[in-house]
Amino acid sequence: MRHILLLVSAFASLANGLEVIDREGDFHVVNTDIAPDGFQRTAVLAGKTSDTPAFPGPLIKANKGDKFRINVHDELTDLTMDRATTIHWHGLFQRGTNWADGPDMVTQCPIVPGNSFEYRFAVPHQSGTYWYHSHFRAQYCDGLRGPLVIYDPNDPHKDLYDVDDENTIITLADWYHRPAPNVVASQISQGPPSSDSTLINGLGRWRLGNETSPLAIINVEQGKRYRMRLVSLSCDPSYLFSIDSHNMTIIEADGESVEPHTVNKLDIFAAQRYSFILNADQPVGNYWIRAVPQPANLQPQGFDKGINSAILRYKGAENVEPDTTEATDVVMLRETDLHYLSPNGQSAVPGRPVPGGADLVLNLTLGFAPPATFMINGTPFAPPNVPVLLQILSGAQAAQDLLPAGSVYTLPANQTIEINFRNNNTPGDPHPMHLHGHSFDVVKSADSPVYNFKDPVGLKSLQRIHFLMYTVFVKVRRDTVAVAGNNITTIRFVSDNAGPWFLHCHIDFHLVDGLAVVLAEDTRDTKLANPVPADWSELCPIWNNTDPSIRN
């Protein structure tokens, strides 16, 4: 049955027109009431001014090579939610600006209400689809999250599309009717949380709500090709994403260009991003956009009353909901089908083309202790009282001298690092593991029994002399990778970015419950590589002297 859309919500205007911050500007974090799925609650939102907060937050955009200056103002007042804040710029390497990376008590003390802090950083060599979010406890689950795009005037795929702007960004988010601190606390007695609704570009419906609540509309014109930037702003679920009657040609994963690969459905985990080409080659009409949250036993399923849905609308189509159906001949994206497109045409990574063919191998086992404690190698992460970066700047360099004890691993400079993630029967998997400060090569994917590299010249049996003498080809490069089942997921990168970098599960409730470590990279040169500004040095004294009700 088709229903005439009632665009009665003020939030409908945001569906295809995000507020935009172009490289520099103020970023006001406030509490305000919203009803993105028809249920009203107070949220933590951001806007260019205190009067323009929205969900998702403003699009922050730039061009490759630009510099950012984002002044974050904490104006939070609601006592039911966290009132301090930080912002993480997900996927940006922060080379030389580790202090601006954002995770609280790893690279900075939080910003407290009534104060501000300016994040300043550059992106000399990065372009693609990213996002930002609070990195203070589980605060981004209350709404503080939004897209960040760095455009490349020399994009290798620019001949494949006609349109790429703020109207071709698609954000997916889980939404909760309870404040995040309550959701976190309820895990002890109620187990893993279930979201109340799926929001696409900030709009959605919930199972018990009004089926006339507005849905997001993505407008296209027949005959044009669109670069759609799909961003998972999720706190927890992954999403099975598809658009009825349309294929998706993947050209980017997590800020890394890939060889074009066409599918009609994909599974996107929390914090991951994909760019895909959508060819508007179907008859003029309306088509369902579908995002089904996973795992199915915890998240709202189906499309009854328009849940888990948005609308792809062709120019000239009626203002009605679609009556289209899902594809039955599914072509699913597999991670191993993503072939990294290197700028120089070579997708080589350091190391030998054998398991363990690296300078340093870390084996990280994900564990769980009931009712709600996650751990890595037997140790749950608990934020220290002094940020890890400040500890290093104050003279601590060895792992045994850095807090939290058992959760900090030191890495030597300019070495090939291999990390093997093993999941030890933890609940809530797959776990999307994200490494700050780097993208990495996925040497072995969770759903693959084989390694992703190949040995083009038969070097497996040779004695290693220096990693640059080998050419190891890997298909997949990204910054967030799934760890699932009892399988091993293996990644590699070079430790060429001095500073402490957070490595954690991007299911935010798992992170809060301990599923994280810090990789302290080149501690000896961290101070020289990351000169900190005076306002950064003021954050901790202010934090330490603020109201205990804000800190605890």
Give the pLDDT means over successive 10-residue stretches in the chain (552 positions).
32 58 97 98 98 98 98 98 99 99 99 99 98 99 99 97 98 98 94 95 93 95 99 98 99 97 98 99 99 89 93 98 96 94 67 90 98 98 98 96 98 98 94 98 88 58 41 79 93 98 98 99 98 98 97 92
Cα–Cα distance between 158 and 164 in angstroms, integer? 9
Residue 257 CB-density burial (10 A; 0-12 exposed, 13-18 middle, 19+ buried)? buried
Tell how far CA 484 is from the center of its chain: 18
Which pLDDT score is estimated for 179? 98
544 phi/psi in degrees, rounded to 5? -70, -20
C-beta separation of 114 from 83 below 8 A: no
The confidence score (pLDDT) of residue 347 equals: 55
Contact call for residues 172 and 200 (beta carbons, < 8 A): yes
| HEC sequence for 290-345 | EEEEECCCCCCCCCHHHCCEEEEEECCCCCECCCCCCCCCCCECCHHHCCECCCCC
Q: What is the third-level CATH fold of 10-91+126-333?
A: Immunoglobulin-like (2.60.40)
Exposed / middle / buried, residue 510 (Cβ in 10 Å: 0-12, 13-18, 19+): buried
pLDDT value at residue 452: 81
Specify the domain boundaries for CATH 2.60.40.420 within the chain. 10-91+126-333, 348-551
Straight-line distance from the first to the last Cα atom of the chain, in angstroms, rounded to the nearest whole number? 51
- State the DSSP H helix or E strand holding residue 512, giving kind and residue range, or none if neither: helix 508-512
> Which pLDDT does position 4 carry in this prediction?
31
Q: What is the pLDDT of residue 466?
A: 40
pLDDT at site 472: 59
Q: Residue 82 is encoded by which pair of tokens?
A: 């966290």
Residues 338, 239: Cα–Cα separation, whole Å = 18
Q: Which CATH class is domain 348-551?
A: mainly beta
Q: Please give the pLDDT value at position 351.
A: 85
Is the CB of residue 225 less than 8 Å from the CB of residue 160? Answer: yes
Identify the three-state secondary structure at position 514.
coil
Residue 151: name the closest of 266, 13, 258, 257 by CA: 257
Neighbouring residues of 131: CB distance < 8 A, sequence distance ≥ 6 = 90, 91, 145, 146, 147, 148, 171, 231, 233, 271, 273
Structure confidence at residue 486 (pLDDT): 84
Nearest to 530 by CA among 501, 492, 504, 494: 501
The rounded distance, in Å, linking the Cα atoms of 127 and 147 is: 13
Q: CA-to-CA distance for 321 and 311, rounded, in angstroms?
A: 7
